[in-house]
Every structure is written in C-alpha cells, then in structure tokens.
C-alpha cells in the first residue's frame, strides 16, 4: 500500500496504490486522520491504483467518511476501477463514489467559505479572523469575596448559575450551601451549559455537569468570573510550518487586538501544544491560617504540572483578559510575570482529541459535542513559569477556534 497526496483548491487528493486490506487499512485511516487534524477536510481518494479492496479496507473508507462528515468535511472516492465500483455497490456503499464532475464542482465552491475572514500569516501560523457580530459584547460579574490563600468565611461565597447563556471560571463546587462544598472546592470552568470542575483529592480527574431540560448546573464559588452575552469574533488558527504554535499570551493579545478593547472574554477549543498549569488538590475551604501559600506547605494545596502536558489533546479554554489597569479587577485576574500589564485568568479542561470543522463553527454546538463525546481528563488553571533556563514558559496551542468578545467587568453580589 502506497499513498501519494496532492492538494489543490482546498481539496486533498490521496492516491492509493496496492492493496487496501487488513494489513494496510490502519495505515490508510491514520493518514486520513492526520489530514483531518491538520485541517484538510475535503478529501478525495484516487482509487485508480488500487489492486484489491477487502472488508477491512472498506471499513477504513467508511470510517474516514464518517469522521469527515462529523467535522463538516467531505469524502469521496474518485477514478474507481470496475472492481472497486463493484465491491462498493455490492456492499451498499456506492454513496462514497463521486463523479469527477462533482468533485470539480465542489472545488470551485470551496474558496467561498473563507468569505469574511481576515487572513494573516504570522510566524508559521495561519490566522483567520471572522467577525460574528461587531456590536456584541459581554458583561462579566466578579463573584465571591475570597482573597486567595486566606482562610475563607461563609459570607464570601457566591452562588453562580452556569447556564447556556454564560461562560465562567473560578474556584467552587456544586452543592446546596457553603457547608456542603467547603471540603470539595476546586477549579471549575463552564461554557454553553457544560460545567467541569476538579474535585480535590485522590481521583485526579474532573467531574462535570451538563445543562439538560430544566436542570442548570450551578456552583457555590469562593471566587468566580461569570460572563454573559454574545461573542463578536471568531479566530481560527493552524500551523503552516511544522512545529509552529500559538502561545497563551499571544492568544490573549490577539483577543485584545481583534476587539480593540482593553478587556476581553474568550472561549476556545484548541489542540494542545503543551499546557503549563496548576490545580487545587486540597479544598481551599480547609485553609485555616496564612501558611497555605508558603513553601513547602503550598504543595499540599496546589499541584503544578511540572512539565508541558497533554500535547495533542483537545482543550476547552475559558479565559478573561484585562489590560485596563483597573485595581478592582486585580484580585480576579492575576498578572503573569511577562505580560506587562495584561492580566489574565484562564482555565483549561482537557479532552481526548477530536477534529473540528473548518471555518465558522458554533461555540455552543462544539462544546456540547465535546462533552457528549468524552469525559474531561484534566482541569488546569494555566500559569506562566518564567524560571530562568528551566522555566516552562506559558501554555501553547497548535490549532483551534477561539470565540472572542469585549467585556465589561462588574462586581457581582455574594450569596
């Protein structure tokens, strides 16, 4: 089995030669999957060189088709020889066969999809910025009165509903009242009615809740930022050069640039280059004195990734960026060591990778699809590690979609 590839007009043609059978079907499918991941989502398989097609081979063709349909791409077999046509139609899969003219027609249509995007090329990355709704903006409430690393008190908490109308992040847990969550508080994020949070303790895996019918997830939070409103822009990015990645700080800067605002909110679905972050391993509700933030006792409360983790996974990011210099926001938006006046608070929920469709995609649908397809593997509060020489820097991303909006921060009410 041999595969040759050529791309023209946004359509990738994969030329197969030899046998597509049990021995080579995985090889073929992996090649397709890699193309999908890299954003080549209109695939034609040139079957003229195919000598043999077994059931396993047939299955891999079908899987490719399903995967591409899932991300709004297309998959078809062209230049099929007689026996391939026969095999496909006998097994009822002749829908996979495309007439050459079809393919050409689609090829002509394809450039239209870039319509409305401002395309830029920066340091090996192709960036497409789509304007969704120029007037859209968000209101963000800063909830909870807790000062980090101090012993919390009852009155500091806030009840934060996490319905589909908002994006949010913070430290909290679902529960009736503060007493019931005091020992289980952890980092959380929410978008489109899907909430994930990291219960402290042994399990090491996040838990999650999804809005369904009349049930709306809700957390009792020590501190949280909850943004509601619409997104104004969508940023798509993907590498053009091998190894090019977008850093979290560059991403934050792009949200400010896209909206021309000093404060932004964003939600993103991104393939991870490497995450650097921390997560709570002991509920901050249990902090009793001022020692929690001191080394080494801080290690009992907080776990640091220690290396760049989750490469290749898909992450859901919820973040808020503030370059306004407002002192009121400072308690909710920490300043990374190297961003010069840009404060940001970003949480990431990590999922197994699955490809996204190209172009404009809907945030709520994409997030819902994510939560229905797999469970979160990890949840992190992203940080920058700027230690000299050994520092890990900040998190990086390979490709993805970022929904962006300007934001006004207001002080929320405590429960």
385 binds other proteins, rule: CB under 8 A: yes
299 binds other proteins, rule: CB under 8 A: yes
Which of 66, 60, 56, 55 lies closest to 14 in space, CA to CA? 60
383 binds other proteins, rule: CB under 8 A: yes
Task: Tell which positions 314-333 bind other proteins, by CB under 8 A.
Answer: 331-333
Record the tokens describing residue 374, joined without a space: 């797999």
- The least distance separating other proteins from the CB of residue 202, rounded to whole angstroms, comes to 7
Beta carbon nearer to other proteins, 15 or 284: 284
DSSP secondary structure, 51-94, as one string: EEE-HHHHHHHHHHHHHHHHTT-EEEEES--HHHHHHHHHTT-G
Residues 377 and 350: beta-carbon distance below 8 Å: yes
User: Residue 162: which residues within 8 A CB-CB, separation 6 or more?
Assistant: 168, 190, 193, 195, 209, 211, 216, 217, 218, 219, 226
- The least distance separating other proteins from the CB of residue 354, rounded to whole angstroms, comes to 22
What strand order describes the sheet that includes 74-78?
2-8, 11-20, 42-53, 74-78
Which of 59, 32, 30 lies closest to 45 in space, CA to CA? 32
Any idea which residue has 């026969």 for tokens? Answer: 86
User: Residue 50: which residues within 8 A CB-CB, separation 6 or more?
Assistant: 16, 17, 18, 19, 20, 80, 81, 84
Residues 405 and 138: beta-carbon distance below 8 Å: yes
> Which of these ranges, 19-27, 71-79, 334-342, 361-369, lies near other proteins under the rule CB under 8 A?
334-342
339 binds other proteins, rule: CB under 8 A: no
Beta carbon nearer to other proteins, 251 or 278: 278
Q: How many residues bind other proteins (CB under 8 A)?
A: 33
274 binds other proteins, rule: CB under 8 A: no
- Burial of 31-56, coded b for 16+ CB within 10 Å and e otherwise, reads bbbebbbebbbbbbbbbeebeebbeb
- The least distance separating other proteins from the CB of residue 338, rounded to whole angstroms, comes to 11
Record the tokens describing residue 263, joined without a space: 């404060």
> Which of these ranges, 8-16, 73-81, 266-274, 301-309, lies near other proteins under the rule CB under 8 A?
301-309
Beta carbon nearer to other proteins, 325 or 391: 391
Angle between helices 25-37 and 55-70 (to 10 degrees): 10
Quote the CA–CA distance of 187 and 105 in Å, as a whole number: 49
DSSP 8-state symbol, 355: -
Beta carbon nearer to other proteins, 44 or 310: 310
**Residue selected from 141, 223, 366, 405 as contacting other proteins according to rule CB under 8 A:** 223
342 binds other proteins, rule: CB under 8 A: no
> Which of these ranges, 111-119, 174-182, 320-328, 386-394, lies near other proteins under the rule CB under 8 A?
386-394
- The least distance separating other proteins from the CB of residue 301, rounded to whole angstroms, comes to 9
7 binds other proteins, rule: CB under 8 A: no
381 binds other proteins, rule: CB under 8 A: yes
Beta carbon nearer to other proteins, 67 or 384: 384
* Cα→Cα distances 371→97, 190, 207, 269, 375, Å: 33, 11, 11, 12, 6
- The least distance separating other proteins from the CB of residue 304, rounded to whole angstroms, comes to 4
387 binds other proteins, rule: CB under 8 A: yes
H/E run at residue 178:
helix 178-181
132 binds other proteins, rule: CB under 8 A: no
Beta carbon nearer to other proteins, 334 or 341: 334
340 binds other proteins, rule: CB under 8 A: no
CB atoms inside a 10 Å sphere around CB 23: 12
Beta carbon nearer to other proteins, 39 or 144: 144
**Residue selected from 54, 56, 113, 149 as contacting other proteins according to rule CB under 8 A:** 149
Quote the CA–CA distance of 389 and 366 in Å, as a whole number: 38
Which of 124, 70, 129, 42 lies closest to 355 in space, CA to CA? 70
Quote the CA–CA distance of 368 and 111 in Å, as a whole number: 28
Beta carbon nearer to other proteins, 88 or 382: 382
Task: Tell which positions 278-297 bind other proteins, by CB under 8 A.
Answer: 278, 281, 293, 295-296
- Tell me the per-residue interface mask from 175 to 214 with other proteins, x by CB under 8 A, - otherwise: ---------------------------x-x----------
Interacting residues with other proteins (CB under 8 A):
148-149, 202, 204, 223, 278, 281, 293, 295-296, 298-299, 302-307, 331-337, 345, 381, 383-387, 391
């Amino acid at each position: 089995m041999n595969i040759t590839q050529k791309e023209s007009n946004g359509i990738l043609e994969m030329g197969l030669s030899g046998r597509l059978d049990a021995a080579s079907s995985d090889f073929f499918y992996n090649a397709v999957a890699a193309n999908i991941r890299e954003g080549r989502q209109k695939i034609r398989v040139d079957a003229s060189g195919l000598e043999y097609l077994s059931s396993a081979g047939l299955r891999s063709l079908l899987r490719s088709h399903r995967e591409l349909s899932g991300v709004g791409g297309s998959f078809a077999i062209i230049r099929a020889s007689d026996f391939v046509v026969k095999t496909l139609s006998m097994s009822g899969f002749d829908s996979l066969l495309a007439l050459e003219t079809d393919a050409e027609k689609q090829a002509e249509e394809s450039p239209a999809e870039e319509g409305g995007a401002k395309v830029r090329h920066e340091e090996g990355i192709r960036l497409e910025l789509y304007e969704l709704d120029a007037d859209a903006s968000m209101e963000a409430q800063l909830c909870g009165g807790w000062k980090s690393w101090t012993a919390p008190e009852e009155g500091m908490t806030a009840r934060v509903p996490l319905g589909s109308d908002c994006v949010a992040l913070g430290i909290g847990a679902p529960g009736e009242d503060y007493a019931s969550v005091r020992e289980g508080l952890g980092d959380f994020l929410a978008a489109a009615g899907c909430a994930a949070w990291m219960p402290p303790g042994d399990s090491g895996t996040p838990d999650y809740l999804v809005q369904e019918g009349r049930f709306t997830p809700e957390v009792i939070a020590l501190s949280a930022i909850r943004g509601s409103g619409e997104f104004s822009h969508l940023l798509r990015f993907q590498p053009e050069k091998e190894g090019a990645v977008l850093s979290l700080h560059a991403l934050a800067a792009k949200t400010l640039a896209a909206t021309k605002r000093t404060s932004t909110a964003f939600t993103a679905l991104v393939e991870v280059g490497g995450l650097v972050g921390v997560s709570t391993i002991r509920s901050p509700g249990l902090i009793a004195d001022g020692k929690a933030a001191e080394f080494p006792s801080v290690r009992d409360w907080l776990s640091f990734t220690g290396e760049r983790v989750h490469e290749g996974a898909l992450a859901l990011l919820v973040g808020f960026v503030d370059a306004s210099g407002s002192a009121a926001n400072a308690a909710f938006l920490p300043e990374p060591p190297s961003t010069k006046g840009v404060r940001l608070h970003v949480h990431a929920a990590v999922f197994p990778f699955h490809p996204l469709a190209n172009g404009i995609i809907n945030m709520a649908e994409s997030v819902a699809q994510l939560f229905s397809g797999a469970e979160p593997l990890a949840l992190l509060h992203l940080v920058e590690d700027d230690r000299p020489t050994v520092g890990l820097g900040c998190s990086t991303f390979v490709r993805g979609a970022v929904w962006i909006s300007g934001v006004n921060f207001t002080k929320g009410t405590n429960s």
